[in-house]
Structure 1
Amino acid sequence: MIDFQNGGFYKLSAVDPQPLQKEIGPLLIEGENVLQTFKGIRDFIAFTNKRVIAVNIQGITGKKRDYTSLPFSKVQAFSVETAGTFDLDAELDLWFSSVGKVRFEFRDNVDIRMLSQLIAGYVL
């Protein structure tokens, strides 16, 4: 599992879910749909209607991958912080039972309020 306390997913930008569908498609259960995807330099996350799937690409070749599933049913609280004048990154914090806080940082072009509304629809 990804160690979110000593690292996380930073500088994420919204990307088209279609190219990533091939990689995470086998992980999805019946009735689960990918809603939004975000990619960093190598790593990426996918928001589905059931969970967040965080993919950590490891090693020089990138063949080794860690897939961490964070179900919305385990979210206890969440927080969003919009980008500002000097702090150009928006942040999403999710608190999961038994995992703790998970932080994702997004580039300023990501509509963090829309993402907050998406999460609220599945958590509340």
Structure 2
Amino acid sequence: MGLLGGMLGNASNVDKEDVKRELADILTESEEIDFAFKLVRDLLVFTDKRFIVVDKQGLTGKKIDYHSIPYKSISHFSVETAGHFDLDAELKIWISGASTPAVSKQFKKDNAIYDIQKVLATVCV
């Protein structure tokens, strides 16, 4: 796809091969990673088949929640940009039939939220 270059702030573009090794037990044999972003310890991973939110929990990060969402299940998403006094931006993703967001992530005041929104807009067609 070639949409993204380097990113600033708390969300950063991650090497696909590193993520592929980290998610070896989760990915299918034919699944390819298109984009991956790191948010402190968590990962937002866009593959050719689905969107995966990797939520590392606890002090050591050994407990991990893998939230897998097929693109066809994403009904809509929103981005809330940071303001003058509110320094955080927020991404929310809803899945079909849900009234509350399935995913809600905070970002620092930078352009990372726009880059992730562009990827979502591309894959959710």
Q: Find the residue that maps to 1:27 and give its secondary structure.
A: coil
- 1:78 equivalenced with 2:77 (yes/no): yes
Structure of higher RCO (CA pairs closer than 8 Å, 6+ residues apart): 1
1:118 and 1:67 map into 2 onto residues whose CA distance is 20
CA displacement 1:50-98 (0-9 Å, x = unmatched)? 3221122234443332211122110111111112211111111111025
After TM superposition, what 4+ stretches of structure 1 lie above 4 angstroms from structure 2? none
Q: How many residues align?
A: 113
Q: Which residue in the other structure is 2:15 paired with?
A: 17
2:94 and 2:106 map into 1 onto residues whose CA distance is 15
Aligned CA-pair RMSD: 2.4
From the superposition, tell whether residues 44 and 82 of structure 1 become closer, same or farther in structure 2 (CA, over 3 Å): same
Q: Which amino acid aligns with 2:36?
A: Q
How far apart are residue 31 of structure 1 and its match? 4.4
CA contact (8 A) 1:91 1:105 kept: yes
> Comparing 70-79 with 23-32, which one deviates more in the overlay?
23-32
Q: Find the residue that maps to 2:77 and give its secondary structure.
A: strand
> Comparing 101-110 with 13-22, which one deviates more in the overlay?
13-22
Q: Which residue in the other structure is 1:117 paired with?
A: 118
How far apart are residue 12 of structure 1 and its match? 4.8
Give aligned-pair identity as a percent.
36
